[in-house]
Amino acid sequence: MRSHLLNGTTAEHYRRSVTLGVERVAATVAATDRPFTGVSPQALAPRIDAIDLDRPLGDTAAALDELDGVYLRDAVYFHHPRYLAHLNCPVVIPAVAAEAVLSAVNSSLDTWDQSAGATLIERRLIDWTAARLGLGPRADGVFTSGGTQSNLQALLLAREEALAGGADPARLRVLASKCGHFSVQKSASLLGLPADAVITVPCDAERRMRPDALARELERCVRTGLVPMAVVATAGTTDFGSVDPLPDVAALCARHRAWLHVDAAYGCGLLVSRTRRHLLRGIEHADSVTVDFHKSFFQPVSSSAVVVRDAAVLRHATHHSDYLNPRRAVTERIPNQVDKSLQTTRRFDALKLWMTLRVMGADGVGELFDEVLDLAGQAWLLLDADPRFEVVTRPTLSTLVFRWVPPEGSGGAFGPADVDRANLHARKELSASGEAVVAGTTVNGRHYLKFTLLNPLTTPADIAAVLDLLAGHAGRCLTLGETLAHAS
Ligand X SMILES: *Cc1c(COP(=O)(O)O)cnc(C)c1O
What are the residues binding ligand X (CB under 6 A)? 87, 146-148, 151, 181, 183, 234, 236, 238, 263, 265-266, 292, 304
What minimum distance in Å lies between the beta carbon of 146 and ligand X? 3
CB-based contacts of 319: which residues, under 8 Å, 6+ apart? none
In the complex with ligand X, the residue whose CB is nearer, 154 or 466, is 154
Residue from 368, 319, 352 nearest 143 by CA: 352
What minimum distance in Å lies between the beta carbon of 320 and ligand X? 28
In the complex with ligand X, the residue whose CB is nearer, 268 or 463, is 268
Q: What is the 3-state secondary structure (H, E, C) of the chain?
A: CHHHCCCCCCHHHHHHHHHHHHHHHHHHHHHCCCCCCCCCHHHHHHHHHCCCCCCCCCCHHHHHHHHHHHCHHHCCCCCCCCEECCCCCCCCHHHHHHHHHHHHHCCCCCCHHHCCHHHHHHHHHHHHHHHHHCCCCCCEEEEECCHHHHHHHHHHHHHHHHHHCCCCHHHEEEEEECCCCHHHHHHHHHCCCCCCCEEEECECCCCCECHHHHHHHHHHHHHCCCEEEEEEEEECCCCCCCECCHHHHHHHHHHHCCEEEEEECCHHHHHHCCCCHHHHCCHHHCCEEEEEHHHHCCCCCCCEEEEECCHHHHHHHCCCCCCCCCHHHHHCCCCCHHHHCCCCCCCCCHHHHHHHHHHCHHHHHHHHHHHHHHHHHHHHHHHHHCCCEEECCCCCCCEEEEEECCCHHHCCCCCHHHHHHHHHHHHHHHHHHCCCEEEEEEECCEEEEEEECCCCCCCHHHHHHHHHHHHHHHHHHHHHHHHHHHHC
Residue at shortest CB range from ligand X: 147
CB-based contacts of 336: which residues, under 8 Å, 6+ apart? 110, 111, 112, 119, 324, 325, 329
Q: Are 135 and 289 in contact (CB under 8 A)?
A: yes
In the complex with ligand X, the residue whose CB is nearer, 22 or 190, is 190
What minimum distance in Å lies between the beta carbon of 273 and ligand X? 17
What minimum distance in Å lies between the beta carbon of 236 and ligand X? 6
What minimum distance in Å lies between the beta carbon of 150 and ligand X? 7
In the complex with ligand X, the residue whose CB is nearer, 245 or 434, is 245
Sign of CA dihedral 264, 197, 441, 381: negative
Residue from 105, 143, 107, 109 nearest 126 by CA: 143
In the complex with ligand X, the residue whose CB is nearer, 81 or 269, is 269
Residue from 277, 282, 295, 120 nearest 208 by CA: 282
CA atoms within 13 A on the CB side of 468: 7
In the complex with ligand X, the residue whose CB is nearer, 304 or 337, is 304
In the complex with ligand X, the residue whose CB is nearer, 292 or 370, is 292
What minimum distance in Å lies between the beta carbon of 221 and ligand X? 23
In the complex with ligand X, the residue whose CB is nearer, 183 or 273, is 183
What minimum distance in Å lies between the beta carbon of 181 and ligand X? 3
In the complex with ligand X, the residue whose CB is nearer, 19 or 189, is 189
